[in-house]
Amino acid sequence: MTIDIDETKVKQNEFSLWAGWTLATAFGLLIGYLPLAFLVGWIDLGIARVIVPIITGVLLGLAQWLVLRPFVTQARDWILHHAVGWVVGFTLGMFVVQLLSKTPVGMLFGYICFGLIVALFQFPILRREIPHLTTWILANIIGWTFGAYLSQLAAGIFFQNVLPTRFMSVLVSVGITGLVAGAFTALALIWIVRQPDRLAK
């Protein structure tokens, strides 16, 4: 099953969809990652690296779906059939980032892989609306990669003369990453919806 997005509703509310998707992406990331700031020292770091991406994937998928829901005309069995795919994609992507982020080149490659994985797992849900998969892949790769590096730059500026708490560090890095990634993918989603539907097979 695919979802069918109402192009007329999107055209009439493009800014609200863009803003809602952008904020939902940042909010989903934050509520998934911020608890880690309080749990460090209480649970094993290895366990946290497994649990946090899964929880974040669920919350982020739900937050984005709540934004997208008013614009969808057919959406039965969404949670059962498709949200799991989004969670798996996000979780796998985060594991790749954690695995490769020990060097600058590895970090760059990790975020590129993350964007690619997330886009590929979302494609089965959006394939009716996406005339060319390349657009969605590029938006995810650019959005998540640029967001990650911009968040590091911002953290360096904000905390140049102070030692941030773990809470503030997560708030800035994860929040900015989510806002940038959400903004890029929301623009891509709106552009994609403007194109003629590709019939689902």
- What is the per-residue pLDDT across 131-158, written as a single tens digit (0 to 9) for each? 667 888 899 999 999 998 999 899 888 8
Strand blocks (E) in 64-141: 72-74
201, part of any domain: no
Residue of 194, 160, 136, 176 lying closest to 11 (CA atoms)? 194
Which amino acid belongs to residue 107? M
Q: Tokens at residue 40, please?
A: 């460090």
75, part of any domain: yes
Query: Residue 24 pLDDT > 80, yes or no?
Result: yes
Give dist(CA 182, CA 82) in Å, integer: 19
Paired strand residues for 40 = 43
Residues near 28 by beta carbon (within 8 Å), at least 6 away in sequence: 56, 59, 60, 61, 62, 63, 64, 178
93, part of any domain: yes
**Helix and strand numbers, DSSP H then E, in the chain:** 8, 2
pLDDT for the residue numbered 182? 95
130, part of any domain: yes
- 104-121 average pLDDT score: 83
Enclosing domain of residue 150: 4-194
Q: Tokens at residue 161, please?
A: 């003369």
Give dist(CA 174, CA 33) in Å, integer: 8
pLDDT for the residue numbered 70? 87
Which amino acid belongs to residue 164? P
Q: How many structural domains are present in the chain? A: 1
Query: Residue 82 pLDDT > 60, yes or no?
Result: no
Share of the chain above pLDDT 70, in %: 76
22, part of any domain: yes
31, part of any domain: yes
Rg, Å, the chain Cα set: 17
200, part of any domain: no
Q: Tokens at residue 42, please?
A: 């209480």
199, part of any domain: no
Query: Residue 115 pLDDT > 70, yes or no?
Result: yes
Query: Residue 183 pLDDT > 70, yes or no?
Result: yes
Which amino acid belongs to residue 16? S
Residue of 142, 158, 181, 162 lying closest to 22 (CA atoms)? 181
